[in-house]
Amino acid sequence: MKFLFLTQYYVPEVGASQIRLHSVARALLRQGHSVRVLTGMPNYPTGRIDPPYRRKLWFREHIEGVPVFRTWLIPARELGARRLLNYASFAASSLLPCLSAASHADVLFVEVPPPTVGITAALVLRARRLPLVLNLADLWPDWALSAGILRPGVTSEVLRRLGNFLYRRASFITCVTSGLLEDLRTVYRVPEDKLLYLPNGVDTNLFRAKGPGSLDGLRWFVYAGNHGVYNWPIVIAQAARMLRHKRPDARFVLIGDGSQKGDVLSYCREYGLKNVDLLAPVPIERVASFFGQAYAAIVTYKRGFLSRPAKLLPAMASGLPIVYSGEGEGAELVRQARCGLVVPPENPGALAEAVEWLCDHPSAAREYGLAGARLVHREYSWDALVRSWVEQLSERLNLNGVKGVEG
């Protein structure tokens, strides 16, 4: 098949959706399909367009064999009016390039959120007849309302109506979690024959099980990912403050950037925390290197985040025990896999207790790490997941009589 990916976010930006989409694109290429990506200039999560993309209306490149075409947008870091301009600017600037590229595609694959990308897709499909596949990572505005990031009102109602429009317009909707599938069935009444499943996966060639380790007598607890308000990484700094004298062997390493990183940095400075290292975003290969030296991984989320986060799987694949501060599918996966400890979200005391327990029980930490690695390497490699998803999609397309999409 010939796939056209339309997404506002893509590597070299560091984030769960960016890495996930690039992994899917590479897996499709390895399996003999054609992939092109239409995306925006890299600016997430810093809110600054990265060099060499600055002061350009468009930019063409190849990333690990994947052809990528980028269009201009207004960069944004914080939530608010500028973020809305960020969404709207990419929706507008990507319209004509998408219209042109769609004439050479069999499938238009659109990453949502943000839902504004779906407006571009809907306009393109008025001129180009091809299947629209929505790749759904979160339900807007549901998750933002449940997390307290968005309040009920005009904005949330507009987003809800836009989401309903996109769900009706899409030929198929791909979900990354079983919870999203269930919500679409029961809440949004999406027909079963429109739903596809492509859960988060991991590059098992890059992330290999090495198990809990130590460096210079210190146990590293690594958080790698976005530092946004819904990730709530400040709870790690709060737990580190509780443990700085009690557990001098525990060190917390936070890798990434986002709207809450400034708060974390200020907190660490205010309390003079020497057991916390705040590092800038790094390529995924460097994340694998950090995991290879770590004792455990920490994954945190704000109350109301119920999905299964992509950042969980690389840590599991690396054989690290997990400390999961959150709820929902991510927490349930850790429990079922018996690969770590789950504590309530936004609870630094519980997080500190879990860290201390893992430090005191190295044998249990190793067993947790091995259990997670076995599960991920058996069921969540990208090649296996993408192959299964393409089979689902091909079968649905053939049933609907869509032509010209054979592999």
What pLDDT, on the 0 to 100 scale, is given for residue 394?
95
On whether both 367 and 389 belong to a single domain, the answer is no
Beta-strand relationship, 107-112 and 2-6: parallel
What is the average per-residue pLDDT within 271-281? 96
The full DSSP string for 29-43 is: HHTT-EEEEEEEPS-
Q: Does residue 271 form part of some domain?
A: yes
3-state helix, strand, coil in the chain (%, to 5): 45, 20, 40
Range with the poorest average pLDDT among 236-245, 330-339, 396-405: 396-405
* Percent of the chain topping pLDDT 90: 72
Residues 6+ apart with CB under 8 A from 18: 9, 10, 11, 44
pTM over 0.85: no
* End-to-end CA, the chain: 5
Overall number of domains in the chain: 2
For residue 406, name the pLDDT band (cuts at 50, 70, 90): very low
The C-alpha angle 125, 39, 10, rounded to 5 degrees, equals 130
What pLDDT, on the 0 to 100 scale, is given for residue 284?
87
On whether both 264 and 341 belong to a single domain, the answer is yes
Q: Does residue 211 form part of some domain?
A: no
What is the average per-residue pLDDT within 251-270? 95
On whether both 175 and 300 belong to a single domain, the answer is no
Q: Does residue 18 form part of some domain?
A: yes
- Residue-range definition of the domain harbouring residue 49: 2-201+382-399
Q: Does the pLDDT value for residue 143 go beyond 70? A: no
On whether both 334 and 387 belong to a single domain, the answer is no
What pLDDT, on the 0 to 100 scale, is given for residue 405?
38
On whether both 350 and 387 belong to a single domain, the answer is no
On whether both 267 and 178 belong to a single domain, the answer is no
On whether both 76 and 193 belong to a single domain, the answer is yes
What is the average per-residue pLDDT within 54-83? 92
Residue 229: CB atoms within 10 Å: 18
Q: Is the distance from CB of 278 to CB of 268 less than 8 angstroms? A: yes
Q: Does residue 209 form part of some domain?
A: no
What pLDDT, on the 0 to 100 scale, is given for residue 147?
63
Please provide the average confidence, as pLDDT, over all residues in the chain. 91
On whether both 132 and 281 belong to a single domain, the answer is no
Q: Does residue 213 form part of some domain?
A: no
What is the average per-residue pLDDT within 73-78? 90
**Exposure string over 312-341, b if 16+ CB within 10 A, otherwise e:** bbbbbbbbbbbbbbbbbbbbbbbeebebbb
On whether both 85 and 126 belong to a single domain, the answer is yes
Q: Does the pLDDT value for residue 407 go beyond 50? A: no
Could you tell me the CATH number of the domain that includes residue 316?
3.40.50.2000
The per-residue pLDDT for range 84-141, each reduced to its tens digit, is: 899 999 999 999 999 999 999 999 999 988 889 999 999 999 999 999 999 998 787 6
Residues 6+ apart with CB under 8 A from 153: none
On whether both 143 and 14 belong to a single domain, the answer is yes
The per-residue pLDDT for range 23-42, each reduced to its tens digit, is: 999 999 999 999 999 999 99
On whether both 173 and 276 belong to a single domain, the answer is no
Q: Is the distance from CB of 71 to CB of 130 less than 8 angstroms? A: no
For residue 401, name the pLDDT band (cuts at 50, 70, 90): low
The per-residue pLDDT for range 76-89, each reduced to its tens digit, is: 987 778 988 999 99
d(CA 31, CA 403): 20
Q: Does residue 214 form part of some domain?
A: no
Q: Does residue 407 form part of some domain?
A: no
On whether both 254 and 332 belong to a single domain, the answer is yes
The per-residue pLDDT for range 344-363, each reduced to its tens digit, is: 999 999 999 999 999 999 99
Q: Does residue 210 form part of some domain?
A: no
Q: Is the distance from CB of 241 to CB of 271 less than 8 angstroms? A: yes
